[in-house]
Amino acid sequence: MRKLNFKVIQVFLVIALLFSFCSTRETQKSFAEANPEIAINKTILNFGRCFITDQPNIRFKIVNMNHGSMTVSLKPSAIWIKLSVTDFVKEEKEIEVSLAVSGLKLGIYEEAISVTSDGGNLTIPVLVNMVEKKTRVKLTLDNPVGEIDGIPQKAIEAAPFILGGKEYLPLRFVMEAFGAKVEYEQITNELNPSAFIKYIRINSTTIDIEYSTVDNIIFVDNRPLINNFQFVTRGSRAFVPIEFFTQTLGVDIFTSAVHRTYMIEY
């Protein structure tokens, strides 16, 4: 009887081990065969204002939100949109998009990149505004008179300044020089009768920017940019650090330490 019980126990152990082994294999198979799911870190590629001699480029990344590799194919809607890679099989890949703008006429172009994969399909808008020439804005610390394309403008209520080691430039003056429209949403209350700017909205033909002064978050074409700076008001003017323009417009700002002058070309 004892021998019979021992044999029964052995049989049960073998069955349990086989069941555990099969279950593990099925789990591994299910894990390996997880359905790919495509995702990108930029929902729009906005190249802004470009001149015919420019060589603009933007990088974005495609990733598989699930496990394993993903088969991806990219196709631009215009031949002047160049991609660093058009097909790949990988878990994630960074793509460089460059524009061959030398043959384009003046005006706004709205194209797209079609992305097809076994993890879903996407369409990424591509925007560029071809201009006859770039606009140059020049501002000098403690000088209320700025220049646009070498022409002095009417003095603003407050001059650029340095605060906490950061250089602050007038927001409306710079953005309107590039053809954008700037609006402020202000709120007041009984405890603080002075108007408080809650939102700053900047709209142009090629870019939309919204700045929440409460949450300190910038949205560029609905894409959030977390920043670590604050805007400042002086003389009824809103001022932002230089980083605001480099982050939102993607421009380089040229500085002259001798004359304490800043030039933005866009």
pTM of the model: 0.70
Q: Is the pLDDT of residue 261 over 90?
A: yes
Q: Is the pLDDT of residue 12 over 70?
A: no
Query: CATH homologous superfamily of domain 38-130?
Result: Immunoglobulins (2.60.40.10)
List the CATH code of the domain at 136-265.
3.30.457.10
Judge whether 98 and 140 are in contact, CB under 8 Å.
no
Q: Give 30's pLDDT tier (boundaries 50, 70, 90).
A: very low
Q: Give 259's pLDDT tier (boundaries 50, 70, 90).
A: confident
Domain with CATH 3.30.457.10 in the chain: 136-265
Q: Which residue has the higher pLDDT, 187 or 199?
A: 199
18 class by beta-carbon count within 10 Å (0-12 exposed, 13-18 middle, 19+ buried): exposed
Strand partners, 157: none
Domain with CATH 2.60.40.10 in the chain: 38-130
Q: Give 191's pLDDT tier (boundaries 50, 70, 90).
A: low
Q: Please tell me the distance from the alpha carbon of residue 146 to that of residue 154, in angstroms, as a whole number.
A: 8
Q: Please tell me the distance from the alpha carbon of residue 94 to that of residue 42, in angstroms, as a whole number.
A: 11
pLDDT score recorded for residue 43 = 87
Q: Is the pLDDT of residue 46 over 70?
A: yes
Convert the pLDDT of each residue in 63-90 to its tens digit: 999 988 899 999 999 999 999 999 999 9
Q: Please tell me the distance from the alpha carbon of residue 244 to that of residue 166, in angstroms, as a whole number.
A: 11
